[in-house]
Chains A and B, each alone.
Chain A
Amino acid sequence: MNIEHFLNNSVMSWMAFEGKYADIVMSTRIRLARNLTGYRFPLSFSENEALQVDKAVSAVLLDEEAELETTFSYIDIKGLSTLNRQVLVEKHLISPKLANSEINGSVLLSDNEAVSVMINEEDHIRIQCIFPGLQLQEAWRQANNIDDILEKQLPYAFDEQFGYLTSCPTNTGTGLRSSVMMHLPALTMTNQMNRIVSVISRLGLVVRGIYGEGSKALGNIYQVSNQTTLGKSEEDILTDLQSITEQIIEKEREARLALMNTRENALKDRLYRSLGVLTHARLLSTEEAGRCLSDVRLGIDLGLIKNINVSILNECMIFMQPGFLQKYADTSLQPEERDEFRAKMFRERLQVKNNIDDEGEETHDV
């Protein structure tokens, strides 16, 4: 499939709104780190080793279409412009590390963008599967299947005691990082997140902002994932994450109910104001857009805001990021211009007929 497809398309398979927890869990991600024996890790290997690893891994994925049950497109990172790399990062299809890499790195993307296999990131192979809603077992099954196919043809670096050998000692063992992306506005509003974060970290799990380590929780979206990879089986890692996730969902639902019961008017006021901002603002920063998106999403979940499709909100979340906006504008934008463009995009996507100030802007087909 043409690379342009991946760069221009802001609708991704994980955005489909499904599953019983889909109102709170936005997506599930499984990542497996693997290395080949006989080549040093990307941190210390030579260009020649990089090329050989790239060739060996991509050949398997491109040849085994039938068994993989999906078609992969091969994308060489070096051949991409900085902006195009940024767009792939914003879609979570590649990591910032691979995007900034100087060495021979590449990514294989499945047509529906649910699977991406990065080659020569921090490890030789990073298999990633993203599913909508809470589907840890399903995502694991797919990643595991790809892993099985690769392992049949490639010699993995594995040790009886330490398991799968990875460049970072925090991945050694299963090489499995499983995470769920959750929208937790009520727990954030009621100041319960700090307490939850500290309890969870004692259980061998981590809570982060949406864009990974160190990032703030933009739009009240948190990523909960396992920290421990050694001494715990894949099954146990997934079961533990599932059970913690279900408990957080329960707490979030309780908090939403409590807010509705005690602060209904204040809550409604806030949510409708945010809807107003998204549909009428002329300048929108990423932070403000993220906050308002969270409010509107909560409004939809609570049945207060109707006529807006959640999948459009998901799409806006991807679309509002600097790289994507510039790709769409087809030119580089200064921060202020981005805010203007972002505001315009929200007005268009949320399709509000504006009677007061009709500037006759044409609607873009996205």
Chain B
Amino acid sequence: MTIYSLYILNKAGGLIYQQDYNPGLLKLSANDYLVLAGTIHGVHAIASKITPFSLRDDSAAAGQSLLNTNSFLNHPLPVNYTSNKTGLNFIQTDFFNIYLFQSLTGIKFILVTSPNGVLSNNLTNAELILRKIYIIFSDYVMKNPFYNLEMPIRCELFDLKTTQLLKPV
């Protein structure tokens, strides 16, 4: 799995970090990246709204029927569909995959990778990388006293650490 780029969105859907690590994607204008970030932010919100009726666990009956279905025995119960974890997880296209991770504080980490099919181990792989990025983000952005919340990230150490993680030596 090659990592093409990383985007970080603040909780309002604004793009606060954009970096390409490996060639593979088109370069867009700064404005287009903002539009792209906003679109993903919107679709993320919409995606949880279109959760199929039978999966919504706010009605007790739906939860009961899920427990009784065989196919759900080996699945964990769905997370409350309004929680911020139920938005987009991944997007699969012919030429790249997008994996998303939203922190509890609403910051979205978006990873664009090469398409290797969304195999389950690939998914966990991408999730792992996203979590590592979140750790780097906490260490080198949030602990940086000169960083203004919700503003674009300009921290050299963060650039360095993410490049070390995402770019093959």
Do A and B interact?
Answer: no
